[in-house]
Amino acid sequence: MTDNSSPNLGAELWKVAVDAPLPTTFTYRAPLDLRADPNLRRGASVRVPLGNRQVPGVLLSATNDPGEFKLKNISAIDTERPLLHEAFLQWLEWLAKYYVYPIGQTVEITFPPLKKQVKARKSKKAALTQEPETLSVAPKLMPEQAQVISAIESSPGFGTHLVHGVTGSGKTEIYMKLLEDVVANGKQGIVLVPEISLTPQLIDRFTARLGNAVAVIHSHLTPREKTNQWWAMVEGKKQILIGARSALFCPLPNLGMIVIDEEHEASFKQDEKLKYHARDAAIMLGKFSNCPVVLGSATPSLESWQNAKLGRFKLHQLKHRVADRALPTIEVIDLRGEREERKAEGTVGALPFWLSDTLYTAIDETLAKGQQAALFLNRRGIAQAVVCPDCGWVPACPNCEVKLTLHGKSHLLCHYCDYHETLTEYCTECKDGEPKPIGLGTELVERDLAKLFPQARLARMDRDEITTREELEDAVRSIERREVDILVGTQMIAKGLDFPGLTLVGLVMADVAFNLPDFRASERAFQLLTQVAGRSGRHLDEGAGRVIIQTYNPEHPSIHYTVNHDYDGFAEYDLAFREQLNYPPFGRMASFRIQGPDEAKVARASHHLKTLALSLKSKSKNFDSVELLGPNEAPLKKIRNNYRWQMVVKANDAATLGSFCRALAEHQDWVPSTIKIMVDIDAAHLL
C-alpha cells in the first residue's frame, strides 16, 4: 500500500469522515491502545459511535480542536478495509467539496457492499470474465490510430486527451492498445463507458485482447460479484477495470490511465446523492494520481471541445473510418412537405402518418437484399413538448430560448425561469395547425410495421420491452445472429452497437430530440443523430450505409451539420449561442431542488431560499456574476408524493458558483424538517 504523506501517527484527536448525512467531519478520540497502533493513520477505516449506533468512518487528519460536542472514543480500526492512499483521499475530499456533499457519505461510496470473500469459491457466476484460449492480436493500426497512440504515450503524467474520431474510426482499438501498454508497464487502468454500452459486445472485445487482466463493474452485478471484482483490482490481481461511472470509486493502488468512452454521454452525470459528473471527476482523479486521462467521442461535449480549443485538453482527431469505409449517406425527409403532398394527392392514411414514402421504400429494399434496418424514435420526453403537426412550430421561452413544457391541459411553462403562457387552440405560427403534445411511441411504430411488412421479423428495444441486462444481451445476440430484420427502438439502443448486417437506419421523428426543454437540446440532438447514423453500414467495404432522418424542421442546425458530418461547424454554431446567454461551457450552472410532501410549504421554502440567495449575493462583490432564476415548479412536479421545486443559479465561473452554492447550502437550520434542499452543481437536466 502507498504510504500516506502525513499519516499523523500516534495522534489523540482525529477528524473522521463518518458515514452519516453530516456536512463536515466529526472529531473522535483515539484511546491509548489505538494510539500505539501503526494502522491508526490518515486514510484508515475505523468504527465510531454515532448516537447509539456504530458506524464506519475514515480518518482524515489529526486535530487539536476537540469540537463542540462531548468527545467519544474511536471503537476500533477496521483493518479489513484497505488504507486509502493519499491521491485517492484528496480526490474524495475534492468531490465532497465541489459537489457540496457530506464527506463521510462520499468516502463510503468507495467500499464494496460485502465483506471480502476469504476462500475463493469456484462458482461459475463469480468468474465474470473468462480467459479466452488465445488472445486476439491487435490489427495493424491505421496511420491515424498510430499517430494518436504515440502522441498520448509521449506525454506521460497528467494530461487530458480528447480523441475526436468519426464513428467507426477505430477509437476502441486505440483504447485497447493504450491499455495493453499500461499493463505492460506494470500499471492499472480504468475504462468508463455508459452503463448501456456495457454489452457483451464490448466486454468480449476487451477480454479477447487483454484476457485475464480485465475486471468489470456495473450496476447489474450481485453484491458478491461486485465485491470480488473490487478486491481483484485493489489487490492488483487484475489490471483493467471496465465499468460504468461508479468504477471510478475503486481505489486502484497503481492507476496509470483513465479512458472515458462516449465522453459526451449525459448518463455520466449522476443525478442523485453525490451528483458528480464522471468525466470531470475522472479528470480530477487523473490529476491527483498524475496519470493521463483519455476522453473519446465522435461528438464531444461542448465543454470538452471548448477545453480543447483553449488548450486545456490536447485534441487528437480521426477523420476517416477504418480501412477508408464510407460514412453513411444521410437523407432528410420534410414531414411538412410529406403531409402537404398526401393532402394534395388524397393519399392521407395510405401509410401511417409517421412513415414517409422514402423510408417505406428504403425498408422494403433493405429487406429484399437480406440486410437489416433499424428505426429509432427518441423516447418522448418525460416533460412533454408541444408541436404543431402542420408547420412543426414548438413554443419556446422568450427569456431562455428553451422549449416550454406542457403542464396539465394547456399550461405551458419554462423550467429555467418562471415564464408561462396558455396553449392556444391554433398554432401562432401558421395559424392553421392545432398544436399537440408529442406522443408517438415505439409500440405504435412496431404495430404499424407488422402490418406493412408481415414477413419481416421485428424486435423492439425500449425501456418497456428491455428491463433487465439479460434481455438487452439476448436482444443484441439475436440481432447479431440475423434473427431480426427490423429493429425498432429508442435512442437507448443507439449507443456503441456494431451490427454488420445493419445498413439502413431511419429516424422516425428527429424533432423529439431538439424540442427538449434544455439549453443542451441542440447538442443532444446532434449527438443522437450522429451516433444513430453511425450504426449504419459500419462493415460495408463497398458502398455506404443509408440513413433517413424524418423531421418537421429540416433546416434545424442539428440536422444540417449531421448531414454534412460537420462536428466542428456544429460546435461553432452552438457555442456562439451558449456564449450569448452565458450557458456552460461559458458560465456555470447549478440547481437547488426543494422538495417535501406539503406543496405550500415547499413553495414557501423555495421563496425563502431565493430571499437568502439574494441577500447572500448582495453581501459580496465576488458574487456579482451570480444570476438567480426561479424558483418554480420542477418539470416533474411531484414524485413519490413529494412536491418538487427548483431554483437555478448561474455564475461566470466554477469557483464563484461553488462558493456561492456552498454558502447557501450551509445554513439549513431554518429549513422545516419535512423539507429537503439539495444542490446539483453543473446540473445536467432540470427535471
**Binding range to ligand ADP, per CB under 6 A, among 68-76, 133-141, 271-279, 376-384:** 133-141
Residue 416 interacting entry, from ligand ADP, Zn ion, none, C-beta within 5 to 8 Å by type? Zn ion
Residue 139 interacting entry, from Zn ion, ligand ADP, none, C-beta within 5 to 8 Å by type? ligand ADP
Q: Is 322 in the site for ligand ADP (CB under 6 A)?
A: yes
Residue 591 interacting entry, from ligand ADP, Zn ion, none, C-beta within 5 to 8 Å by type? none
Interface mask toward ligand ADP for 233-262; x: CB under 6 A: ------------------------------
Binder of ligand ADP out of 31, 38, 66, 139 (CB under 6 A) = 139
**How far is it, in rounded angstroms, from Cα 209 to Cα 621?**
56
**# binding residues, ligand ADP (CB under 6 A):** 16
Nearer residue to ligand ADP within complex by CB, 193 or 461: 193
Cβ–Cβ under 8 Å, residues 190 and 214 = no
Interface mask toward ligand ADP for 163-202; x: CB under 6 A: --x-xxxxxxx-----------------------------
Lookup: cell for 291: 496519470
**How far is it, in rounded angstroms, from Cα 101 to Cα 20?**
11
State the amino acid at position 292 in one-letter form. Answer: P
Pairing of strands 240-243, 458-461: unpaired
Q: Scanning residues 445 to 504, which ones bind ligand ADP (CB under 6 A)?
A: 498
Cβ–Cβ under 8 Å, residues 283 and 293 = yes
DSSP labels for 361-410? Answer: HHHHHHHHTT-EEEEE-PPPPSSPPEE-TTT----B-TTT--B-EEETTT
Nearer residue to Zn ion within complex by CB, 247 or 414: 414
Shortest gap between Cβ of 195 and ligand ADP (angstroms)? Answer: 17
Shortest gap between Cβ of 384 and Zn ion (angstroms)? Answer: 17
Shortest gap between Cβ of 569 and ligand ADP (angstroms)? Answer: 20
Residue 429 interacting entry, from Zn ion, ligand ADP, none, C-beta within 5 to 8 Å by type? Zn ion
Binding stretches for Zn ion (CB under 5 A): 388, 390-391, 393, 397, 399-400, 414, 416-417, 419, 427, 429-430, 433
Lookup: cell for 350: 395510405
Nearer residue to ligand ADP within complex by CB, 308 or 497: 497
Binder of ligand ADP out of 59, 77, 95, 142 (CB under 6 A) = 142
Helix, strand, or coil (residue 514)? helix
Nearer residue to Zn ion within complex by CB, 400 or 628: 400
Residue 631 interacting entry, from Zn ion, ligand ADP, none, C-beta within 5 to 8 Å by type? none
**Backbone phi, psi, residue 325, to 5°:** -65, 150
Which residues lie below 8 Å from residue 425, measured CB to CB, with a gap of 6+?
434
Q: Is 527 in the site for ligand ADP (CB under 6 A)?
A: no
Q: What is the DSSP letter of 622?
A: G
Nearer residue to ligand ADP within complex by CB, 159 or 168: 168
Binder of ligand ADP out of 22, 126, 141, 492 (CB under 6 A) = 141
* Cell 417535501 found at: 596
Shortest gap between Cβ of 613 and Zn ion (angstroms)? Answer: 18
Nearer residue to Zn ion within complex by CB, 33 or 555: 555
Nearer residue to ligand ADP within complex by CB, 99 or 526: 526
Helix (H) / strand (E) element for 644: namely strand 642-651
Single out the residue of 50, 44, 59 nearest to residue 21, CA to CA.
50
CA-based torsion, 46, 48, 50, 54: positive or negative: positive
Helix, strand, or coil (residue 485)? coil
Name the β-bridge partners of 680: 591
| Strand arrangement, sheet containing 588-596 | 627-639, 642-651, 588-596, 676-681
Shortest gap between Cβ of 480 and Zn ion (angstroms)? Answer: 43
| Strand arrangement, sheet containing 159-165 | 214-217, 240-243, 188-192, 255-261, 292-297, 159-165, 313-318
Single out the residue of 418, 445, 397, 462 nearest to residue 633, CA to CA.
418
- Which residues of this protein are in contact with ligand ADP, per CB under 6 A? 139-142, 145, 165, 167-173, 322-323, 498
